[in-house]
Amino acid sequence: MRRKDVLDLDDFSAEELHEVMETAEAMREVLSRPIKRVPPLRGKTIVNCFYEASTRTRVSFELAGKNLSADVVNVGASGSSVEKGESLVDTTRTLQALGADMVVMRHPHAGAPYLVARELSAAVINAGDGWHAHPTQALLDLFTVRDRLGSLEGRKVVIIGDVLHSRVARSNIWAFTTMGAQVVLCGPPTLIPAGIETAVAEGRRRRWGDGIQSGVQKEHAAVKVQYDLDKACQDADVLMALRIQKERQAGALFPSLREYSRLYGLTQERVARAKFGALVMHPGPMNEGIEIMPEVAYGAQSVIEEQVTNGVAVRMALLYLLAGGHGGRAV
């Protein structure tokens, strides 16, 4: 992989995404072994820098690093110099001086990992920055869908709920459209970012030029906005519910959890409108009974637990590739 950092997926070509997917398959094989530990990152130090509370992403990265024999150090915002008012740039220089090989960063502000990546010679992996991006979540989502459905070409992926505040949605838009899927964003208009369709089309045009990269059909690789979930579910291959933050209600973004759930909750009826065998996904943590009904979350079409399992394999793949490993079954 010819890049120092992974900050978002907007600059990943389909070929690069394939490389990560194939490497993640090899890593999943490693995870199925009785002894899950392989040596490629022996002697490397990974610092998990989490400026925001996280359990699953942090643990997933920690396990991924340890499975590859790296030394993994966790730095949280509490108890560290961050609480003493140290600036992000200072913290970054400290990490540099301490000799970290890779930095995994979760930060409440969009763009923070970009600042860090510019200052640091170590590889930086964005583990979520504000509302902006969560590339490893999108990669594991892509891996999970590809694993179950095969090619993404022409597939319809519906992302449901609070897109405005969702880094998961933003990164998934790039991952899925680059692989040729159509992404439908469905939620109340108050929670859909203004201009998102233009943003994706224009961003793609500026990144890749007017021609579209190999293997991607232009008409599919687009984003549409739909306010009616019943309609959005029709012919869907993937239904992905996002977590709704209860405090958004205070900002008059929606009237009540009751009405939100009635309009945008993922129910059995709605899942039944999608294609036969459509996948149900959620990045977690879930508000069961609000954005997703328990019978859907734990139903036959749900791949929510697989998402978590695959997360470790995908993160192992990314760490491995960034450390200079080659794709395919090299482990």
Partner 1 sequence: MVIGSASSGHRAPLLIRGGRVIDPANGLDAVADVLLRDGLVGEVGRGPDGRGLTAPQGARTIDAAGLVVTPGLVDLHTHLREPGFEDKETIRSGTLAAVAGGFTSVCCMPNTEPTLDTAAAIQFVQRTARAAGVARVYPIGAITRGRKGRELAELAELAEAGAVAFSDDGDCVMDGAVMRHALEYSLIVRRAVVQHAEDTSLSAGGVMNEGPVAARLGLPGWPRQAEEVIVARDLQLAELTGAHLHVAHASTAGTVDLLRQARGRGVYVTAEVTPHHLTLTEDLVAGHWWSATASLPPYDARTKVNPPLRTGDDTAALVAGLKEGVLDCVATDHAPHTATDKRCEYAVAAFGIANLETTLGSVLSLVHEGKLDLVEAVATMTCRPAAVFNLPGGTLSPGAPADVTLFDPEREWNVDPHHFHSKGKNTPLAGHFLRGQVLFTVTGGEVAFER
3 binds partner 1 (CB under 8 A): no
The string over 224-244, giving b where at least 16 C-beta atoms fall within 10 Å of a residue's C-beta and e elsewhere, is: ebbeebeebbeebbbbbbbbb
Q: How far apart are CA 64 and CA 61, in angstroms?
A: 5
193 binds partner 1 (CB under 8 A): yes
Q: 3-state DSSP call for residue 166?
A: coil
* Residue in 12, 50, 131, 176 binding partner 1, rule: CB under 8 A: 131
Q: How far apart are CA 46 and CA 172, in angstroms?
A: 25
Q: Which of 26, 19, 280, 51 is nearest to 148 (CA)?
A: 280
50 binds partner 1 (CB under 8 A): no
> Which range binds partner 1 by CB under 8 A, 21-29, 130-138, 280-288, 303-311?
130-138
132 binds partner 1 (CB under 8 A): yes
Q: How far is CA 297 from CA 180, 265, 266, 284, in A?
A: 26, 11, 9, 11
Q: What is the DSSP string of 3-64?
A: -S-B--STT--HHHHHHHHHHHHHHHHHHTSSS----TTTT-EEEEEESS--SHHHHHHHHH
Q: In terms of CB distance, is 59 or 199 closer to partner 1?
A: 199
Lookup result for tokens 């979540």 = 137
Q: In terms of CB distance, is 196 or 236 closer to partner 1?
A: 196
111 binds partner 1 (CB under 8 A): yes
- Can you read off the two tokens belonging to residue 221? 């690789």
Q: In terms of CB distance, is 35 or 252 closer to partner 1?
A: 252
> Which range binds partner 1 by CB under 8 A, 199-207, 280-288, 296-304, 309-317?
199-207
* Residue in 73, 115, 257, 331 binding partner 1, rule: CB under 8 A: 115
The one-letter code for the residue type at 222 is A
Q: In terms of CB distance, is 106 or 270 closer to partner 1?
A: 106
Q: In terms of CB distance, is 114 or 227 closer to partner 1?
A: 114
In the complex, minimum distance from the CB of residue 309 to partner 1, in angstroms, rounded to a whole number: 27
* Residue in 3, 4, 118, 262 binding partner 1, rule: CB under 8 A: 118
Q: In terms of CB distance, is 128 or 327 closer to partner 1?
A: 128
In the complex, minimum distance from the CB of residue 16 to partner 1, in angstroms, rounded to a whole number: 17
The one-letter code for the residue type at 26 is A
Q: How far apart are CA 113 and CA 11, in angstroms?
A: 15
257 binds partner 1 (CB under 8 A): no
Binding mask 216-245 for partner 1 (x = CB under 8 A): ------------------------------
Number of residues that make up the chain: 331
Contact predicate 319/27, CB 8 Å: no
In the complex, minimum distance from the CB of residue 304 to partner 1, in angstroms, rounded to a whole number: 24
194 binds partner 1 (CB under 8 A): yes
Number of residues interacting with partner 1: please give it, by CB under 8 A.
Answer: 31
10 binds partner 1 (CB under 8 A): yes
In the complex, minimum distance from the CB of residue 225 to partner 1, in angstroms, rounded to a whole number: 11
Q: How far apart are CA 114 and CA 96, in angstroms?
A: 15
- Can you read off the two tokens belonging to residue 295? 């019978």
* Residue in 28, 44, 58, 107 binding partner 1, rule: CB under 8 A: 107
HSE at residue 75, side-chain half, CA atoms within 13 A, is: 22
Q: 3-state DSSP call for residue 299?
A: coil
Q: Which residues bind partner 1 (CB under 8 A)?
A: 10-11, 87-89, 107, 109-112, 114-115, 118, 129-133, 167, 170, 193-196, 198-200, 202-203, 206-207
